[in-house]
Structure 1
Amino acid sequence: MYDNLQHPIFSIIKELAETTNTECYVIGGYVRDYIMKRPFKNDVDIVVVGSGIEFATLLGDRLHTKVAVYKNFGTAMLVYEGLNVEFVGARRESYRANSRKPIVEDGTLSDDQNRRDFTINAMAFSLNKADYGTLVDPFDGVQDLEQRVIRTPLDPIETFSDDPLRMMRAIRFATQLNFKITIDAIKAISDTKER
């Protein structure tokens, strides 16, 4: 039924999320690659509405497994049955014009999806009991996969100004996946190249 979430870690996260009244979602590359029917990699990103570190710590206790905490990045990681699972709290980011270091605030799933680099990486699968396995795709990432385009969730000038490394990621994804970068994004890369 939920063939997108067959690894046992997903149902374990769902149970803990229900017990702790926490929203959790698989986000990013796992979702993109599943939809594209690309080979499964051994890592997955989980966004938690709340503290990703606290949730990962609780999960590690339940699984009797070590959790690596990266406080500077607000993330935690554990390994379960060969799968690297990284947890991060949903967040909203803003940037000053002269800095690449974001101002980070707690946020919602929507806030977290807004800060993602590309629509194809902003898609999420719910790990919550009420809608387990449901795709959350506010920026039409599936359509962009079908049309084979690299597009940013927000204005590309804002996206690339916030994090110039995303310009290189756009080129990398376009070449790896044989996708086209949207004209707006190409123009934004040119306009923000000095950032």
Structure 2
Amino acid sequence: MRQEGDDRDRLTCRDCGYIAYENPKVVVGSVVTVGDGVMLCRRAIEPRAGFWTLPAGYLEMHETVEEGARREAWEEAQARIALDGILAVYSIARLGQVQVLFRARLAEPGFAAGPESLEVRIFTWEEIPWQEIAFPSVRWALKAWRDGAGHPGPAVLNPPEDLRGARPLLGPVLAGDAG
């Protein structure tokens, strides 16, 4: 039902008028560097079980984006991380997501697969299994990290070829990703 003065239909209770707003979910995560490599987690859960991703997931209520990124690194990689600033903010309109990804490093030694990961590994740029990356935004974040040489700078946004995050999951590897 469309409310007066609104530009879109909303789920609205006909009896009491309550409006159930549907808003994007916030995803938080990190490109965690260890030496010359980056940490990737092989997903144990759907979607894209068996594929590699960054330690990331949905922000919880009453949590800052920084707290959420650190929690996700612990849940997925049993890693305590230190955040070094925002790397990227991506709008994934087709999924109703906003992704906030940080530059990070280990705050203390050690990592291991958490309950949502089959394994956790550190990959140099040349070793990254590009054909087994779970989501386009993981490719984008890795490329943004590499392009910034891992150093703090302004956060990047969606790449020009996918401004709304609308491309399908199984698109080709972005030019320049593998080398």
Greater CA radius of gyration, 1 or 2? 2
Q: Same fold (TM over 0.5)?
A: no
Which one has a larger percent strand, Structure 1 or Structure 2? 2
Q: TM-score, normalised by structure 2?
A: 0.28
Which one has a larger percent helix, Structure 1 or Structure 2? 1
Tell which has more relative contact order, 1 or 2 (C-alpha 8 A, sep 6+).
2
